[in-house]
Structure 1
Amino acid sequence: MFLIDMFNKKTVMPTPDAALPGRAEPLPTSEFHFVNGQPLKGPYPDHLHVAYFGMGCFWGAERLFWTLPGVWVTAVGYQGGLTPNPTYHETTTGLTGHAEVVKVVYDPSVVSYEALLKTFFEQHDPTQGMRQGNDVGTTYRSALYTTRPEQLEKAKAARQAFQKALDDAGRNAKITTEIASAEEFYYAEDYHQQYLAKNPGGYCGLKGTGVSCPVGG
């Protein structure tokens, strides 16, 4: 019974009164991106845009985005929850409400938001609810958090287009991707930042559906 209760707790979003209290101070990280040397937390050039992508474990997802032309810098962290400045271990209890996400700072004159959405939908399975493969819990849910009204509209349109593509492919699965305007992003601990560049043999659980997303091509 205890094991069942713990499993259920991790796959159900917490209520505000049940959420962990967190802390006032942000977690320490390095100042610069381990791979490209850009400032991790800004300031960013004015012409760049920011978007957030939750695809399960953020290690592999961050590497996926930092390799794309037009992406200026990436960082991993926690978003969409209740607890301020949570630690990784706090998020894994299911009592913070956060998803693991990648912050993507990009040049829209080089890579469009639609192209980033195409990468997002094709490189993970957005139909799995509170999990991604063997990673189970609220932190591993599929999520898109937007910073501009046009991003929000395009994210919803892409979800609808990819749902049709899945239906046409006979997948018989409904997309569970959460789409919302971005709330505060909390940077994850330093060892999580650009993890797979620091640990090339580390875990990456990304696995797509094999269905093409008809946006951003």
Structure 2
Amino acid sequence: MSPQGLVQGHILTISSSIPTAARPATTDSIVLGMGCFWGAEKRMAAIPGVLDVESGYANGEIAGTYEAVLDHERLLQWGKTTRRNHAEVVKVTFDPARVDAEQVLIVFWESHNPTQGDRQGNDVGSNYRSAVYTNSDAQQAIALQTRDTYQTALTAAGRGRITTEIAPLETYFTAEEYHQDYLVKNPNGYCGLGGTGVRYPVAATAAKAG
């Protein structure tokens, strides 16, 4: 959760003797759904320039607790409600001077399967949907642009259509403490995160850099 925790827990190649850098004056954040948030948290925390990754629940119409999300998903499957469930998400806070939203999103696209609708691997339900929840019009535009670029790569590889929900962040709840840094606390814990094996087009990033 904390920058120090990320250094000691997630980014193991950085010596713990190096003092934790002060949080920069300007930061940005984006909320991402990649299935179970345990693996997503660990993956996104490994990006250089990411300051903090927090597990949470977003863009649903119910209470923001783990039990409420699981119970509500059962009601949806039984046809007993039409209220929208939260997605399990990670809130990624980053230093825009070191890594931008596009670079964060490229890791997002490559690190899970965005074509599966309301599931991610063996985790099935609308709470495991692929999602990008943005905090500005600029982020929304970047999310749509990177989605379209990645779709060209998926199509060329014979993969399906991206089903990722891209929308402004409306509601967000921090997940319970036992979910935070879960795979650091439980190194052999469950991680269902897995990408398609399709890389984001290098030409697209090179063209922007040029």
Interval containing the TM-score (normalised by the shorter chain): 0.7 to 0.9
Deviations 1:127-149 (A, max 9, x none): 00000000000110000001121
Say if 1:198 and 1:34 are closer, same or farther in 2 by CA, change over 3 A: farther
Question: How far did residue 185 of structure 1 move?
Answer: 1.2
* Uncovered stretches (5+) of structure 1, i.e. residues with no partner: 1-30, 38-43
The corresponding residue for 2:56 is: 77
Say if 1:197 and 1:216 are closer, same or farther in 2 by CA, change over 3 A: farther
Say if 1:33 and 1:188 are closer, same or farther in 2 by CA, change over 3 A: farther
Asked if 1 retains the 8 angstrom alpha-carbon contact of 2:3 and 2:51, the reply is no
Say if 1:170 and 1:52 are closer, same or farther in 2 by CA, change over 3 A: same
- AA at the equivalent of 1:89: E
1:89 alignment partner, one of 48, 55, 67: 67
Say if 1:200 and 1:177 are closer, same or farther in 2 by CA, change over 3 A: same
Question: How far did residue 32 of structure 1 move?
Answer: 4.5
The corresponding residue for 1:113 is: 101
Say if 1:216 and 1:72 are closer, same or farther in 2 by CA, change over 3 A: farther
Matches within 5 A, 1:147-158: 147-158=135-146
SS at match of 2:5: coil
Q: Does 1:179 align with 2:172?
A: no
Asked if 1 retains the 8 angstrom alpha-carbon contact of 2:45 and 2:52, the reply is yes
The corresponding residue for 2:5 is: 35
- AA at the equivalent of 2:93: V
More helix per residue: 2
* Uncovered stretches (5+) of structure 2, i.e. residues with no partner: 8-22, 76-83
Say if 1:113 and 1:102 are closer, same or farther in 2 by CA, change over 3 A: same
Q: Does 1:60 align with 2:60?
A: no
Asked if 1 retains the 8 angstrom alpha-carbon contact of 2:86 and 2:127, the reply is yes
Deviations 1:82-132 (A, max 9, x none): 113x22121113156100000011011101111111100101000000000
Identical counterparts, % of pairs: 49
Q: Does 1:205 align with 2:195?
A: no
SS at match of 2:53: strand
Asked if 1 retains the 8 angstrom alpha-carbon contact of 2:134 and 2:140, the reply is yes
The corresponding residue for 1:20 is: none
Question: How far did residue 33 of structure 1 move?
Answer: 6.3
2:155 alignment partner, one of 163, 167, 171: 167
The corresponding residue for 1:103 is: 91
TM-score normalised by L of structure 1: 0.77
The corresponding residue for 1:196 is: 183
The corresponding residue for 2:18 is: none
Say if 1:32 and 1:114 are closer, same or farther in 2 by CA, change over 3 A: closer
Say if 1:200 and 1:216 are closer, same or farther in 2 by CA, change over 3 A: farther
SS at match of 1:35: helix
Asked if 2 retains the 8 angstrom alpha-carbon contact of 1:92 and 1:137, the reply is no
Asked if 1 retains the 8 angstrom alpha-carbon contact of 2:30 and 2:92, the reply is yes
Asked if 2 retains the 8 angstrom alpha-carbon contact of 1:70 and 1:110, the reply is yes
